[in-house]
Amino acid sequence: MPGSSPPAAYVAQKLLIEFGSNLHDKAICLTTPVPKLIPLSNAKPSEALREFLKEYEPRISTTGLYTHQAEVVKALKMPHIPNIVMTTATGSGKSLAFLAWAFEILSRDDDATVVATFPTQALLWGQTKRLAKMSVPASLVEFEDMGGVCFAGTIEVGDTSIPWSVWYGTTDCEYMKTHEQSEAFKGARLRFATLDKVHWNLMREKDAKFLANLAGVILDEAHSWHGLSGANVRRMIDRMRLSLDVLKCEHPAFFLASATLADSTTFAESLTGLDASSFLDINDKGAVKASLVAATDVPNLLSQSAETGLLRRYVLLLGPEPEPVAVQDILGKVDNLGSEANALCFVQNKFVGHRLRQDLHRLLPSRNVIAYDGDLPPKDRRRVEDELFNNVGKPKVVVGTSALELGVDLPTLDVVVMDELPPRRCELLQRLGRVGRSSERPGLAVLCLGYSPGDERLLEEPLAAVAVDDIKPLPLPLHLDGIRLRAMSAAFHEWINRLKKGEAKWADFNDAMKRYFGESLHHDELKKRVEEVLGDVVDLEDRAWYYLGFRVSASQGKRKLVLEGDRRNVVATIEDIAIFRDAHPEGVYLGHRGASYRVKRYVGKWDLGTWESPDGVLLGKYMKGLKEIVVSQEKPTLATRGRWKDTFTLHEQKELGNDHDDPAIGTLTFGVFMFLRKFDGYWEIDLHSKAKPKSVSLTEVATRFNAAVQDGESFPFLHNFSYRTIGWKWLIARVLNEQSRKTLAPLLGPLLHGFFCDAVECSKNDLQVTIDAKEGEVRVVDGTPGGNGLSQALLKEGRVTTAWATANKQIKAQARKSDQAFRRYLVEECRVEPNVTTQEVVDAIRQLAGAWNG
């Protein structure tokens, strides 16, 4: 936009005027040099690759390639396709690089196949749109009832023909099931997939031909796979290599792409199992520069012409004093965004996003307000993505969850706003990277901060919060026996029929099992070992148990909300454990377009809903058998949010090993815990007023349920939901007396939760931290079935020690503020009204930290 002030400058000026009293005196300036361009001819691509690149990105004929793209193209002159790990700034054209790599593989060998994997469907479909534009029109396979979304096509460049297809959905996507039967899918040599799909399907017999010819694997946004999730990916890759060895086929090359990887080759080795030295490391580490500028200068800085080839983002920090600022305070006023700015608001909660979208739709009639999250059914998701990527029409305000933070390119965005930060620094940087993706359109980010540990640290040390160099993903806990046994069991499942039929040799399978998993067991021996290690935490009667839990989540799958009278009309797809919150009895679900839906009944195969564990305890009831939830449309006047009670009780003590931290005072116990969730009523929220939500008790719901049953009517009701997981407890009876525990537990549990999650950079949903006042215990438990390794990781490498020290320091700092400010801090962090003094909280944290650290 030469000669005119960019939209972000106008927004910055308005915010300085309106929220100046909250404004941190310094703003963060993030600058990213656009990589240097070199002529395409200098990279010396083959003629076919040259034409492919020009088709994919026509501008390179005149502008050339970025240096990191050219490095990849030059490397493709080698006799063997190299492994590559690329770490470059957001918006730097990584997709062109890894698709050039894939094209070279496919053009060298007419039988070769490549799978490109993405952590989110938004990324997957964004890439397939580019491929569809390059494809022969007559080759495109589209599903009209999904809004004309393209599922497959063929790219022809000279004598090279590359049929491609999408590949997603693990269990119940009817569109994908239909497409997998087509010749277009069966003949595709390039598959664009979610990594979940690869985990569930690539090694199965029906995909053996594609696997046998697999020559390349692309892992986009590779940094997403760390900790337990990364260990699951690695074990999936081990299974893939095992299958290739049994098939007597060569192993594929790997291409890892990310914007935020520290020590990239070491990470690549851990994730893939290949030696770090085998990777060509293409890294512009340090290209993103962060500095502090006066916040009052930001509007003028945004208005100034950029230095040639420099991308700029400015981050305004709004503190919680004198009153916290919410995103609606910023986005809900027409004048704040002007007539041109496009904005993206990240929310951590889908319900908050849906309600915010509804409010902004009413407040901003001149704008297209779009909500995007993981609850959207496939058909609606594709339509919303079309709206997101379409740059015509009214200015946009997009309300999105984390599904939009990874690599999604919305080039005309000007402003990104958050009032709740993601737990990991790399996620924050990804979100900030959604704006400022062109030199002519600098971006503005606005962070509305509260009192959480992460928010406090950002205000105290702004540059440390956006530093790239020391971002370290959680280590992959490959030593965990449960993960290894799951993978071994999956490998047996994938091969046992072929082995029994003599289509493969047991000797080859056993050798490969020992090679990748350390030992080769008879199937019966493996089942016995699995029963010993996992029998108390996993439902082994579920035929797909070894595939479950690939992503770190308490959920075991999504359930459909379908419209009464038209069961094909899917309103949303929600995680099973979220039913207690979003689709509980008498619940009203608020949809992404602002419509409301009343829960009418639950439909399922209830004989599948129970599992007797070896000791006779009933686990997993109800959710396993639930197929769908029938709803009816309501007037959009109210919505509900379910309540529940969660409990964790120690089931069996386990050995921790010698490499963990112990408290100086009190006993630490590690082991298997039982999780139980009980429905406990709900809150009814008037969408058209600011009145406090109305509480509806479990007793009221149960009374109506009993009356309906007596009258022979149906009435939706939830059974308990339970699973087993891993965790630890620390006996603190010698540290805090019973009275102190009783009064302080409702505050101390939530307070410590934030600091402990911060120490392992995880979501609060991934780790549960509570204080049991009666038993005198601090309890830290993995928030996912079978455990996720986070509670154990907290006990290693001084993390819990650091968490206690940080908590002690920051609580003392908070206490030095006014009593009113400290009280507001406690209310925001703990969601309860405190009935204790500031000094009591400070003393309790000090005593606990001292008792642990000594």
Residue 533 CA to residue 536 CA, distance in Å, equals 7
Element (H, E) at 494: helix 481-500
- Distance from C-alpha of 64 to C-alpha of 501, rounded to nearest angstrom: 55
55 lies in the same domain as 148: yes
Give yes or no: residues 160 and 15 share one domain: no
Residue 759: inside a domain, yes or no?
no
The pLDDT value recorded for residue 470 is 63
Q: Which token pair is 415? A: 């402003």
Q: Which of 133-137, 244-248, 280-284, 457-461 has the highest mean pLDDT?
A: 244-248
Q: Rounded to an integer, what distance in angstroms lies between the CA atom of residue 421 and that of residue 457?
A: 12
Is 550 a domain residue? no
20 assigned to some structural domain: yes
Those residues whose C-beta lies under 8 Å from the C-beta of residue 464, and which sit 6 or more positions away, are: 457
* Mean pLDDT across 139-161: 85
Tell how far CA 789 is from the center of its chain: 17
Q: What is the structure's pLDDT at 492?
A: 96
Same-domain check for residues 256 and 294: no
Range of 529's domain? 481-534
Name the percent of the chain in helix, strand, coil, to the closest 5: 40, 25, 35
Do residues 219 and 256 lie in contact, with contact meaning Cβ atoms separated by under 8 Å?
yes
Question: 460 with 512, same domain?
Answer: no
Question: Would the pLDDT of 474 be above 70?
Answer: no
Q: For residues 201 and 167, give the distance between their C-alpha atoms in angstroms, rounded to a whole number.
A: 10
CA separation for the pair 731, 735 (Å, rounded): 9
Residue 628: inside a domain: no
- Residue 463: count of CB within 10 angstroms of its CB: 12
pLDDT top residue among 48 and 309: 48
What local confidence, expressed as pLDDT, does residue 802 receive? 93
The pLDDT, as a whole number, for residue 527 is: 93
Same domain? 346 vs 429: yes
CA 73 – CA 100 distance, rounded (Å): 7
Residue 696 is assigned to a structural domain of this protein? no
Are both 28 and 121 inside the same structural domain? no
Whether 167 and 207 map to the same domain: the answer is yes
Amino acid at 647: T
Most confident segment among 81-85, 332-336, 827-831: 81-85
Burial track 401-439 (b if 16+ CB lie within 10 A, e otherwise): bbbbbbbbebeebbbbbbbbbbbbbbbbbbbbbbbbbee
Inside any domain, residue 658: no
Q: What is the pLDDT averaged over residues 351-377?
A: 86
Cα 777 to its chain centre, rounded Å, is 31
Q: What is the pLDDT of residues 365-414, one digit of tens each?
A: 888 888 888 777 777 777 777 777 677 778 888 888 876 666 566 667 89
Q: 215 with 268, same domain?
A: yes
- The total of structural domains in the chain comes to 3
DSSP 115-141: EEEESSHHHHHHHHHHHHHHS-GGG-E
Among 157-166, 307-316, 403-412, 796-805, which is the least confidently predicted range? 403-412
Tell me what percent of the residues of the chain surpass a pLDDT of 90: 43
Q: What is the mean pLDDT of residues 70-89?
A: 92
| Residue after which a domain boundary falls, among 248, 283, 318 | 283
pLDDT tens digits, one per residue of 293-323: 999 999 999 998 867 667 889 999 999 988 8
Taking the C-alpha atoms of residue 7 and residue 443, their distance in angstroms, rounded to an integer, is 9
pLDDT at residue 517 tops 80: yes
pLDDT given for residue 615 in this prediction: 47
Q: Which of the pair, 132 or 762, is modelled with greater confidence?
A: 132
Q: 49 and 19: one domain?
A: no
Environment class of residue 690 by beta-carbon count within 10 Å: exposed (0-12), middle (13-18) or buried (19+)?
Answer: exposed
Give the pLDDT band (50/70/90) at residue 584.
Answer: very high
Q: Given a cut of 80, is residue 829 above it in pLDDT?
A: no
Average pLDDT over residues 663-680: 91
Q: Give the pLDDT confidence score for residue 690 in this predicted structure.
A: 75
Q: Look over the chain and give the mean of its residue pLDDT values, rounded to a whole number.
A: 86
For residue 413, what is the domain's CATH number? Answer: 3.40.50.300
The type of residue at 848 is L
Task: Please give the residue that has the higher pLDDT: either 705 or 12.
Answer: 12
Instruction: Note whether 428 and 455 are same-domain residues.
Output: yes
119 is a domain residue: yes
Lowest-confidence pick of 25-34, 476-485, 517-526, 804-813: 476-485
| Domain end marker among 442, 466, 490 | 466
Question: Helix 67-75 crosses helix 94-108 at what angle (to 10 degrees)?
Answer: 10
As a whole-number percent, the residues of the chain with pLDDT over 70 amount to 92
Q: What is the mean pLDDT of residues 746-764?
A: 85
Structural contact between residues 370 and 399, judged by C-beta atoms closer than 8 angstroms: yes
Q: Which of 33-47, 115-129, 270-284, 813-827 bottoms out in mean pLDDT, i.e. has the lowest?
A: 813-827
Contact 114, 106 (CB under 8 A): yes
Q: Are residues 407 and 121 in contact, defined by beta-carbon separation less than 8 angstroms? A: no
Q: Please name the helix (run of DSSP H) or strand (run of DSSP E) that holds residue 32, with its range, or none.
A: strand 26-33
- Reply yes or no on whether the pLDDT at 3 is more than 70: no
> Averaged over 700-709, what is the pLDDT?
88
617, pLDDT greater than 60: no
Q: What is this structure's pTM?
A: 0.80
Query: Does 197 share its domain with 85?
Result: yes
SS3 assignment, position 518: coil
Closest CA to 127 of 190, 85, 217, 65: 190
| Judgement on whether residues 156 and 233 belong to the same structural domain of the protein | yes
Residue at which a domain ends, from 283, 301, 319: 283
Return the pLDDT at 715. Answer: 81
Q: Is the pLDDT of residue 621 over 50?
A: no
Pairwise CA distance, residues 338 & 647, whole Å: 49
Residue 401, domain member (yes or no): yes
Q: Residue 316 forms beta bridges with which residues? A: 446
Q: What is the pLDDT of residue 613?
A: 45
